[in-house]
Structure 1
Amino acid sequence: MPPAAPAPSPAPSPAPSLYPDLDATALTAFAAALESGECTGLPPARAAEVEAVRAVAVFSRGKVTGADGDLLEAALWRHTGPGPRPAVVMPAPWSDLGWPAYTVQASRFAVGGYDVLAYSPRGLAASEGHADFAGPLDVADGRHALDHLLERAPGPVTRIGFLGVSYGAGIAQLVAAHDARVDAVAALSGWGDLGEVLRENSTRRTAAAHALLTAAPRARLSRPTERALANVLAGGDLHETLAWAEQRSPFTHVKELGRRQVAVFCAHAWHETLFPAGQVLRTFQELGGPKRIDLSIGDHCGPELTGLPGLPNRIWTDARRWFDHHLAGEPNGIDAEGEVLSEVMWSRALEPSPTWPVPTRHTRRLHLTGTGELADRPDPGWAAGVLCGVGTPVAVAEAVARAGHAELAGRPSPYPAAATMDRTAAAVWTAAPAPDTTRLRGTPRLRVTYRAANSGSTFVAYLLDLAPDGSARLISHAPFSDLDAPPDSLVSADIDLQPTAYDLPPGHRAMLALTPHDPLYADANLPRATLSFTSPEPTPSYVELPMG
């Protein structure tokens, strides 16, 4: 008799806003002032920006006629002079606010000489239709939005860019792949492979699906979108969901972007919990045209979020410089700064690199041993068992996007009792203390063999920084599931953890912890089942650290 299917994972607690610091009241007041010229109540800096915009451009709200005749709410910054100029189209993030999220930044592009159109994608805010999650209807809408801008431009439009944050970043890349008029893209906190966003190493990313369903509570989702996300939550038809996701993945269309030499700027966070950094970087590697990626401390949208209300922000500055160079032709030097700019945890130093993967001196292989050490030599034959269905001693984050915003404020999630964590719930190995600063730059990799008592198993691997006081911080992680192996068989897992740029201080130790469950992921284990990690002589278990 076949084993019973694992029960669906319980839904995580209600997701917080993906953009917790977005002040909708201030942004809508700024938009109202752009329209009326009345700046009473605005801070002096915002009032000055309103005056600067109105001196060179006309701001107006309107509707874009999208696919199937659905009307999309939009705003246009149109210059009064007839001279040629570049243009930018900005699809809004996944929220109930819609295009006003871009009010300040769109105004700055307008003052800088661009015609700008910002719009709310279908199914969000006051736009008609149902959210297609960057599907064919959203691509068609983006093309219609560009038509709308071009028809109203007072003079010739020279070159065209699409810029988006989060959901808007995905739409921007996909429109650029399908519309030959688009010359450059800025994708901030977007995705590359939507299939991997929803299922990583055969593990359903249930917290991410839950966040997408709840973070824009007034969104009207298309039935295919609802079904795809529901499949992730309940373990439904994942083949259907992955086919749905493939069409909506920039990775699927990356050759077209390269063929036309579309200039692509990306920005992402190392500890991104909604759209993991690994799948974005794999897409970035495949781009064949001009490209750049800024990688920062934080989580989803955190690095660029302060720029939306107008505060100084490195990501928005670089996105603007990217467009100024590739659309306006400014020789500002950004093309000579290398393809990668990494913010290092926790020094916050900025390190440029000519390519990704970043250059490494070597890869250090540390073997998992029966004594709980990470050692230079293999140690075959031991076993370390963990019990499923008990409390998780370590977790990636308390909720999608939440811990990363604390990281931006210099408060990474601590694990105060890491050195003494419950060994019935986690298998743990630690390296010797580092005599000098250990520079981890790139993608850590894990190979481990384990025996699962039941068919269907899951574990999550965490690479941690263990301090001398016994506390720890997260460096990187990845989940893994096997859904097909017979009961009581050996399973081999070869997985990439999420990429990192991390400085392990002198006296600290690298720690590897393997647990059967994390709240961000579905759990294929049966309650009270066991996973027994081991290291067979022919295929020893080890972790590889990329040494910068």
Structure 2
Amino acid sequence: MSSQEPQPTSLYPELDEATLTQVVEALETGNTGRLAPARVTEVQETRAQVEFSKVRVPGAGGDELDGALWLHRDGRPRPLIVMPSPWVNLGWVVYAVQATRFALKGYHVLAYTARGFGESQGEVEVAGLEDIEDGQAAITFVEGLVTGELTGVGFIGDSYGSGISQLVAAEEPKVGAVVALSTWGDLGEAFFENGTRHLAAVSTLLGAAADARLSETTQQAFRDVLTNPDPQPALDWAVPRSPHERVGKLNERGVPILFANAWHETLFPTNQTLKMFNALTGPKRLLLSIGDHSGPESPGIIGLPNRIWEDAHRWFDHHLKGIANGIDAEGEVVTQIMWKGPIEERPTWGAVTGRTERLYLTGPQNGGDGTLTDKAGGDTDIVFRSGADTPATVANKIIFSGYPEMAGFPKVYPTNEIDRSHAGVWATAPLPVAVKLRGVPRLRVTYTIEGPTPTVIAHLFDVDADGNAHIITHAPFTGPEGEAERLVVLDIALQATGYNVPAGHRVLLVLDTFDPFYGAAPVAGTTITVSPSDEDPSYLDLPVS
């Protein structure tokens, strides 16, 4: 990704809108001529069992929401699934295939387009109070139409709809289970990570909502993230929009919540979702997969086999229907390790990491890069200057880079091309055995700066003998402004990772001062000096399975 590269105009760059639109048309008319055989069967069975109709849902403040309803008219007691739309003008149509599948399993289903998008009225409030009231109104709307008892209510959403689903569940006692895909827990942390503005995330959201109607409150909040020197107004705005702020209400009722996120999520970084997951005390499950925002679950959106959507169905079947399908006895955490890699299951998040291995940042032993070693000390500084981009970046492009990674072609980083005058680099010796990294790495570095305070981005790589690398994880850090010459302590959690470093490879840590994901322009001209120390050593804690 370069600073000149335009941001995506969709959070779903590979979404097959034509297929979804054709499914909706077939549900309405019965004409299945343009559908794949599997979709033909689903549509025909649905039309025989369910009344499908496009609807207008009375939402908060009298605003009508565009939606679709899959309603059983046999008078039998049934649960309801409500599906608030993602951050797309296509709206509820994104859920056409999966909503049909829920209906075929005996659920009433209401999918609706979030306010301000597509044909829904109102303005985009980014999971504000109006969005919560919309979710509650959606339940009331269906209650007025069903001919039998509603035996439970589940909310499921992808991306934007996932945050709304959690917030509605916190405020509405009728909600008995939630599935949140590619979600957030703490919106403030997602937009301001370690004091660093996540400009690419907000720019992408704005680009994807170019045809939506953003409220003045929303526009101001986004402007604050992008340009306001004081982050507090945007952080205050994010508080009521963060499910983590309402976790107590969810815990009081023990609402079962299934999360699914990507390891290399570039829109809503994984750690803030982990924060939410770990705070829950009721039934919970976390699926972590290779890819980026909404990528791992995207095949299921158009009906292809997908373990994430399969788990979503099992989650509701168990918690809303009481079906003994075993999901309650399985591990809380299910992770895909690397591209096309194995699936691992652990009973809790705490069980993902077996032990922590500490590596100290020391000076070069024979010139060149610094070293990552099990002993602190040394007497040679690593010195670099701020102001230039290097090949060490989060990804080529927000969201898009996850698709080749899912296909088994992750980005290759030429680490030999990193300009050491603009980056600090430390490496282990070639590993004698493979190392399985599982969990949240932590980095503590004490350094001095001479000049204005720069942002520092830590990148962790797996490097082969030729210097070609794949990224393991990363995190940014921006310290507070202060005197031009001063000591800074960087003490941060890197984003959670599940990664196998092969024997013979090295683990490489790169600190540089610019990544387009985190800033519009770098701070130039500051000298950064990392000095080895026995008294206050800098170190990297690696979570090892």
Partner of 1:509: 506
Distance 1:277 1:72 in 2: 31
Per-residue CA shift, 1:92-127, capped at 9, x if unaligned? 000110000000000000000000000000001110
Local SS of the residue matching 2:244: helix
Partner of 1:51: 44
Distance 1:366 1:532 in 2: 19
- Quick one: which amino acid aligns to residue 217 of structure 1? A
Partner of 1:68: 61
Is 1:313 equivalent to 2:306 in the alignment?
yes
Is 1:471 equivalent to 2:464 in the alignment?
no
CA drift of 1:12 comes to 5.8
Local SS of the residue matching 1:327: helix
Per mean C-alpha deviation after superposition, the further-off stretch among 180-189 and 9-18 is: 9-18
Is 1:522 equivalent to 2:519 in the alignment?
yes
Is 1:369 equivalent to 2:362 in the alignment?
yes
Is 1:422 equivalent to 2:415 in the alignment?
no
- Quick one: which amino acid aligns to residue 518 of structure 1? D
- Quick one: which amino acid aligns to residue 366 of structure 1? L
| CA contact 2:336–2:342 (8 Å) conserved in 1 | yes
Distance 1:219 1:533 in 2: 47
Per mean C-alpha deviation after superposition, the further-off stretch among 38-47 and 186-195 is: 38-47
| CA contact 1:516–1:523 (8 Å) conserved in 2 | no
Is 1:198 equivalent to 2:191 in the alignment?
yes
| CA contact 1:393–1:421 (8 Å) conserved in 2 | yes
Is 1:90 equivalent to 2:83 in the alignment?
yes
The runs of 5 or more residues in structure 1 that have no matched partner are 1-8
Distance 1:242 1:105 in 2: 35
CA drift of 1:347 comes to 5.5
Alignment match of 2:140 (pick from 108, 122, 147): 147
Partner of 1:407: 405
| CA contact 1:176–1:182 (8 Å) conserved in 2 | yes
Distance 1:10 1:463 in 2: 21
Per-residue CA shift, 1:236-259, capped at 9, x if unaligned? 442111011011001101111111
Distance 1:538 1:154 in 2: 73
Local SS of the residue matching 1:144: helix
Is 1:436 equivalent to 2:433 in the alignment?
yes
| CA contact 1:30–1:104 (8 Å) conserved in 2 | yes
Distance 2:465 2:10 in 1: 36
Is 1:333 equivalent to 2:326 in the alignment?
yes
CA drift of 1:227 comes to 1.0
| CA contact 1:393–1:426 (8 Å) conserved in 2 | no
Distance 2:352 2:162 in 1: 28
Partner of 2:442: 445
| CA contact 1:84–1:158 (8 Å) conserved in 2 | yes
Distance 2:391 2:164 in 1: 38
CA drift of 1:274 comes to 0.1
- Quick one: which amino acid aligns to residue 419 of structure 2? D
What TM-score do you get using the length of structure 2 for normalisation? 0.97
Distance 1:359 1:520 in 2: 28
Distance 2:81 2:525 in 1: 55
Local SS of the residue matching 1:402: coil
CA drift of 1:420 comes to 4.8
| CA contact 1:16–1:402 (8 Å) conserved in 2 | no
Partner of 2:529: 532
Per-residue CA shift, 1:121-168, capped at 9, x if unaligned? 000111011100001010011111111111112210101100000000
CA drift of 1:451 comes to 1.3
270 and 255 in structure 1: CA distance in 2 versus 1, 3 angstrom threshold: same
Local SS of the residue matching 1:103: helix
Per-residue CA shift, 1:190-215, capped at 9, x if unaligned? 10000011100000000001011111
- Quick one: which amino acid aligns to residue 432 of structure 1? A
Distance 1:76 1:363 in 2: 50
| CA contact 1:452–1:489 (8 Å) conserved in 2 | yes
- Quick one: which amino acid aligns to residue 359 of structure 2? L
Per mean C-alpha deviation after superposition, the further-off stretch among 36-45 and 404-413 is: 36-45
Partner of 1:6: none
Distance 2:338 2:159 in 1: 23
Partner of 1:121: 114
RMSD: 1.5
253 and 317 in structure 1: CA distance in 2 versus 1, 3 angstrom threshold: same
Per-residue CA shift, 1:281-315, capped at 9, x if unaligned? 11100001100010000000000011111111110
The runs of 5 or more residues in structure 2 that have no matched partner are 365-369
Structure 1 segments of 4+ aligned residues over 4 angstroms from their partners: 9-12
Distance 1:157 1:23 in 2: 33
Per-residue CA shift, 1:435-482, capped at 9, x if unaligned? 222010100000001112224221000110011221000000000001
Partner of 1:500: 497
CA drift of 1:387 comes to 1.8
CA drift of 1:530 comes to 2.1
Alignment match of 2:267 (pick from 274, 296, 301): 274
Is 1:132 equivalent to 2:125 in the alignment?
yes
Per mean C-alpha deviation after superposition, the further-off stretch among 377-386 and 181-190 is: 377-386
Per mean C-alpha deviation after superposition, the further-off stretch among 179-188 and 228-237 is: 228-237
State the number of aligned residues: 539
Distance 1:442 1:122 in 2: 37
Is 1:176 equivalent to 2:169 in the alignment?
yes
Distance 2:179 2:21 in 1: 24
What TM-score do you get using the length of structure 1 for normalisation? 0.96
Distance 2:312 2:225 in 1: 33
Per mean C-alpha deviation after superposition, the further-off stretch among 242-251 and 340-349 is: 340-349
Distance 2:88 2:523 in 1: 36
Distance 1:385 1:258 in 2: 49
Distance 1:60 1:390 in 2: 56
- Quick one: which amino acid aligns to residue 510 of structure 1? V
CA drift of 1:29 comes to 1.4
Distance 1:346 1:119 in 2: 34
| CA contact 1:31–1:100 (8 Å) conserved in 2 | yes
Is 1:354 equivalent to 2:341 in the alignment?
no
132 and 403 in structure 1: CA distance in 2 versus 1, 3 angstrom threshold: same
CA drift of 1:485 comes to 2.7
Per-residue CA shift, 1:404-443, capped at 9, x if unaligned? 111111111111x214521012110110111222010100
- Quick one: which amino acid aligns to residue 203 of structure 1? T
Alignment match of 1:490 (pick from 469, 487, 491): 487
Partner of 2:254: 261
Distance 2:421 2:89 in 1: 44
Local SS of the residue matching 1:148: helix
